[in-house]
Amino acid sequence: MTVSRRDFLKLSGTAAAAAGLTVIDYDLEPAKAYAQTLRIKNAKETASICPYCAVGCGQIVHSIDGKVVNIEGDPDHPISLGTLCPKGSATYQLVVNERRLSKVKYKAPNSDKWEEKPLDWAMDRIANRSAMITNEEAYLLCKLNRALGVVYLEHQARV
């Protein structure tokens, strides 16, 4: 195997940089804590509950001028003790993600046209109708969706 001068210099530079980084001790925790403090410095704290499942983990929502800037686990909450699952940790994305849907397409019965409706309208409609479903029906709907190959499925059936 032959090594050209250019390859030798690349390898030497990479090795020297790697050796230099291992000698220097980086402790980023103070910088991370300081940045987090700056993010929520003058924010209003509001206690909340995670919206994703029936466990009811506690969250602290930090907001500035009515805009959510951070959501974290509530260390004083008796159920979660400050921890959140991945879905609970991603609650912040419900508010700030620009790719989040804000409208839905609705096709009325016996109509051939789709119309745009607000997301709140659709959520209210789904909540009103799904509140009447029993655990057994939720279980069957879950099984049907799994059989159809639905990958992401969320339900609260206690089976």
Structure tokens at 47: 């206690």
Determine the pLDDT at residue 22.
67
Non-local (6+) Cβ contacts of 33 within 8 A are none
Determine the pLDDT at residue 105.
92
pLDDT averaged over 10-residue windows placed end to end, the chain, 159 residues? 85 83 70 72 87 84 88 89 86 85 89 92 86 83 87 62
Q: How far apart are CA 2 and CA 35, in angstroms?
A: 49
Determine the pLDDT at residue 115.
93
Under DSSP, the state recorded for 92 is: H
Determine the pLDDT at residue 116.
93
Set out the domains of the chain in order of their start, with CATH numbers. Answer: 41-96 (2.20.25.90), 103-148 (no CATH)
Structure tokens at 76: 């004083």
Non-local (6+) Cβ contacts of 58 within 8 A are 47, 48, 49, 50, 73, 74, 76, 77, 78, 79, 80, 82
Query: What are the two backbone dihedrals, phi and then psi, of residue 74, each rounded to the nearest 5 degrees?
Result: -90, 110
Residue 73's CB: how many other CB atoms inside 10 A?
19
